[in-house]
Structure 1
Amino acid sequence: MRDPREIKYMIPLLEAESEDVRMHIRSSLREYCPFLEEILSQLGLDLSPEQQYQLHLIQHEYLSESLSQSWRRILSAGGGMHRLEMVLDFISNMQVDEYPYQPIGRQLDEIAQEYRRVSAVPDPIELSRFLFLHKGYRGARDDYDNPLNSNLCYVINEKKGIPISLTSLFILVSRRLGLKIDGVNLPGHFLAKSAIGGSTIIFDCYNEGRMLTPGELAQQFFTPAVDFVALLRNPPTLMDIAKRVLRNLNNAYDRRGNLEKVQLVEMLLEHTEPQNYPIRVVDPAQEPFFKPGSLVRHNRYEYRGVIVDVDPNCMADDEWYQANLTHPDRMQPWYHILVDDSKATTYAAQSNLELDDSLQEVNHPLVPFFFLGFENGRYLRNNEPWYWKRT
């Protein structure tokens, strides 16, 4: 790093008439990051509003680039669900200006050790009672939109969070005890599940770990567009969870008008898209997650639409498939979609789609030909055969 005393001579040149000079100075000052703010404080300079703004931009750009590089390393790393811990630790560290950061791994280790002291045998039900009754972790009902509810340091210490952060806590502690607990990715809610004695038990971590059977889950969270059997067979991947955490965070910052944090989170979301990283390892035998009439949204291109037909795998020819920029696995369900506010029909892989819970109808000229009506956020498919098949 260059001599920090040079900074006081550089600062006035941030307002130089020449753009070339200003660019050179910004580049030179960036070399002092991440210590620039501390150095400026020690120098005690009297900064003009324009100089303060330019220095803020330099530090923000450095932070964005550093976060981007760290995020991409995490998403590219191996280690299965261990990366979930890395993702959540990253988010806690990213919010260090809002809440003190501590490595979450150490805190999770301590919780697991405390559980072992009170329970000799690892058991999902006992762990749920330990966390949500004995330890008192609960849903953040009073400040649900607080961005810190996505920060696992905050959740662990304040003992409250949103469904996905509490479920992630449950999952990560369970892994330390040798238990297998997975997520259940519902529209508007996030739960946990575990196989116990040959049966599947659902845990609602936001509601004190309340237990449900699959039948009770389907009855309580009935959504016509969701196939609950497929939902339970195909738990969310790391990428699914990471994107949902980021979207929660993005919405929370947006509601608070924190534009800089919104931009940071949107940048991370962009790096989480499927063209850069595989979203899901697909089981060729898996059943279609979506049904005809389901509203969906493409997780790369962001268009929404209604599913009109389903293929068990990609039926397109090799030339069409190679032209597809995302190259998702062919051996998974593929869907024919009527795209909202257009005359277009698309063909997309299951791994590139997510449920659209907007409950808004789709504006497409073919909707009346293939659907009887629209009820409870889902179209009712008629018996008209879908005539457009890729061959």
Structure 2
Amino acid sequence: MTDPTQIPFLIKLLDDESPNIQSKVKRELDAFGPLLMSELRKISFPLSNRQKESLDLIFERQQRAQLRRLWSSWYTVEGGYPRLEAALSLISDYLTAYDYDIRLSGLLDDLATQYRRKYNSKDPRLLAQFLFDDLGMQGNDEDYYNPQNSNMNFVINEKQGIPISLVSIYMLVGYRVGIPIEGCPFPGHFLARIELYGQNAFIDCYSNGQLIMESDFLKARDEIAENITDTLYEQISTEAMIRRYLANLVRAFQIEEDLTSANFVAGLFEDLEFRIANKTFETITPDQIINCSEPRYLPGNLVKHSRYGYRAIVVDIDPECRATDEWYYGNQTQPSREQPWFHLLVHDSEQVTYVAENNLLPDESRHEIKHPLLSYFFVRSDGGAYLRNENQWPETDF
């Protein structure tokens, strides 16, 4: 049956007591694809609870199928901000209820227009004031693990979210009005990095747009982390930001015991992990390869030592070797210190190693990793992905 005029009659049959009839009707409704949603908006009669539940399941399946089909499209979008927005639009469309016709780009355009009308300034402090004071966007303390906190449509409309989603709105509205804003993966948190008077400053979007100067962090470095300076200057890629979104969503769905959604998002996570770990070098020049400082592997990636052959999982990364000269020169391989170095949990042992990037290869076997510290640093999805949690890697004394 493909006649859309039959949709109201099919929906009424969802209340039939026969499981066979219900199953057949669901298949026929599902076959209408995206047309089902538009036709549903025309229906004049109220839906029963059973009808709503059945339609919800159909639309959830359709939304998963659509996101899976379109997922890789954002990988090739040019420019960090447009690529971030493309990925977040896909995630938000997936998380937005089927009876809402909302598009992230339009919501961001509207925020930018409102800001220009009120301030028309390129001062990042005024944009923070507009979003987090005038509009009242804030952290969602009461429902922090709600998956909707990763839905930009929800965050903008409800004016609440988690650190990374609030920072993303600040970044993308800033991009529209000509204010450069970057993400800063602060330990256990996520901040926005701006420039003031030629110096780095930070906006805590989760704390009502609080301004924090770099000097404030440096004064408190003993209480925060010894290597806080490296964190403050760390450049985070679009892929790394989306990786955080997916990890947050997997955890949120697990807390809700929605394992179907958790496993689906974990599949997207694995797809992104595989892309990051196996970037093609076809269009990269030799100079770019030599000077590339972005690590090939991220926490949760599985690797093999190219010389010794052991399997391991990446748990933490240093942009360059931070070991002492004594430790470094006692290393049998002595690779270059001017490259990313990785803290690894070695499979089927209690060993923790520190290895240079050029001594590692991707472990394409994707077999399980066994290590006594694994559960402290990672959550494993039902799909098999290792998702890094917020437990910090301790300062290492080499």
> Aligned partners of 2:116 and 2:222: how far apart in 1?
34
**Against the structure 1 CA distance between its residues 340 and 213, is the aligned structure 2 distance closer, same or farther, given a 3 Å change threshold?**
farther
Q: Is the 8 A contact 2:108 2:173 kept in 1?
A: yes
Stretches of structure 1 lacking an aligned partner (at least 5 in a row): 16-21, 43-48, 290-295, 313-329, 363-375, 383-391
**Against the structure 1 CA distance between its residues 179 and 66, is the aligned structure 2 distance closer, same or farther, given a 3 Å change threshold?**
same
> Aligned partners of 1:380 and 1:79: how far apart in 2?
36
Q: Note the 1:178-193 alignment, pairs <5 A.
A: 178-193=178-193
Deviation digits for residues 190-218 of structure 1 (CA, Å, limit 9, x no counterpart)? 10011222111111000111111223235
TM-score (ref. length: structure 1) = 0.66
Q: Is the 8 A contact 1:230 1:288 kept in 2?
A: no
2:394 matched residue in structure 1: 378
RMSD of aligned Cα (Å): 4.7
2:240 matched residue in structure 1: 240
Quick one: which of 339, 342, 346 aligns to 2:349?
Answer: 342
Q: Is the 8 A contact 1:308 1:338 kept in 2?
A: no
Q: Is the 8 A contact 2:299 2:317 kept in 1?
A: no
1:133 matched residue in structure 2: 133
> Aligned partners of 1:340 and 1:379: how far apart in 2?
22
Deviation digits for residues 134-165 of structure 1 (CA, Å, limit 9, x no counterpart)? 11111111111111111111111111111011
**Against the structure 1 CA distance between its residues 139 and 60, is the aligned structure 2 distance closer, same or farther, given a 3 Å change threshold?**
closer
Q: What amino acid maps onto 1:342 in structure 2?
A: S
Stretches of structure 2 lacking an aligned partner (at least 5 in a row): 44-49, 304-311, 323-336, 363-372, 379-391
**Against the structure 1 CA distance between its residues 247 and 213, is the aligned structure 2 distance closer, same or farther, given a 3 Å change threshold?**
same
> Aligned partners of 2:340 and 2:264: how far apart in 1?
33
Q: Note the 1:267-278 alignment, pairs <5 A.
A: 267-275=267-275, 278=279
Q: CA deviation at 1:55?
A: 11
Q: Note the 1:217-228 alignment, pairs <5 A.
A: 217-218=217-218, 219=220, 222-224=223-225, 227-228=227-228
Q: CA deviation at 1:115?
A: 1.2
Q: CA deviation at 1:285?
A: 5.8
SS in 2 for 1:297: coil
> Aligned partners of 1:111 and 1:232: how far apart in 2?
28
Quick one: which of 284, 309, 313 aligns to 1:303?
Answer: 313
> Aligned partners of 2:259 and 2:349: how far apart in 1?
31
* More displaced 10-residue stretch of structure 1: 80-89 or 159-168: 80-89
Q: Is the 8 A contact 2:204 2:211 kept in 1?
A: yes
> Aligned partners of 1:66 and 1:345: how far apart in 2?
41
* More displaced 10-residue stretch of structure 1: 89-98 or 116-125: 89-98
**Against the structure 1 CA distance between its residues 231 and 97, is the aligned structure 2 distance closer, same or farther, given a 3 Å change threshold?**
same
Q: Is the 8 A contact 2:164 2:190 kept in 1?
A: yes
**Against the structure 1 CA distance between its residues 134 and 28, is the aligned structure 2 distance closer, same or farther, given a 3 Å change threshold?**
closer
**Against the structure 1 CA distance between its residues 348 and 125, is the aligned structure 2 distance closer, same or farther, given a 3 Å change threshold?**
same
Matched, 1:211 2:211: yes
Q: Is the 8 A contact 2:201 2:214 kept in 1?
A: yes
Tell me how many residue pairs correspond in the alignment.
324
> Aligned partners of 1:57 and 1:142: how far apart in 2?
27
1:293 matched residue in structure 2: none
Q: Is the 8 A contact 1:304 1:339 kept in 2?
A: no
> Aligned partners of 1:308 and 1:115: how far apart in 2?
39
Q: CA deviation at 1:83?
A: 1.6
Percent of residue pairs bearing the same amino acid type: 30
Q: What amino acid maps onto 1:66 in structure 2?
A: Q
Q: CA deviation at 1:358?
A: 8.7
**Against the structure 1 CA distance between its residues 3 and 153, is the aligned structure 2 distance closer, same or farther, given a 3 Å change threshold?**
closer
**Against the structure 1 CA distance between its residues 275 and 91, is the aligned structure 2 distance closer, same or farther, given a 3 Å change threshold?**
closer
**Against the structure 1 CA distance between its residues 117 and 283, is the aligned structure 2 distance closer, same or farther, given a 3 Å change threshold?**
farther
2:79 matched residue in structure 1: 79
Q: Is the 8 A contact 1:336 1:348 kept in 2?
A: no
Q: Note the 1:66-105 alignment, pairs <5 A.
A: 66-97=66-97, 100-105=100-105
TM-score (ref. length: structure 2) = 0.65
2:340 matched residue in structure 1: 333
Q: Note the 1:1-391 alignment, pairs <5 A.
A: 32-35=32-35, 63-97=63-97, 100-218=100-218, 219=220, 222-224=223-225, 227-275=227-275, 278=279, 297-299=299-301, 303-305=313-315, 332-335=339-342, 337-339=344-346, 341-342=348-349, 347=355, 349=357, 360=376, 377-382=393-398
> Aligned partners of 1:61 and 1:221: how far apart in 2?
49
Q: CA deviation at 1:97?
A: 2.5
**Against the structure 1 CA distance between its residues 69 and 283, is the aligned structure 2 distance closer, same or farther, given a 3 Å change threshold?**
same
> Aligned partners of 1:130 and 1:195: how far apart in 2?
18
SS in 2 for 1:189: coil
Q: CA deviation at 1:75?
A: 2.1
* More displaced 10-residue stretch of structure 1: 161-170 or 103-112: 103-112
> Aligned partners of 1:151 and 1:184: how far apart in 2?
20
**Against the structure 1 CA distance between its residues 66 and 201, is the aligned structure 2 distance closer, same or farther, given a 3 Å change threshold?**
same
**Against the structure 1 CA distance between its residues 54 and 331, is the aligned structure 2 distance closer, same or farther, given a 3 Å change threshold?**
farther
Q: CA deviation at 1:332?
A: 3.9
SS in 1 for 2:193: strand
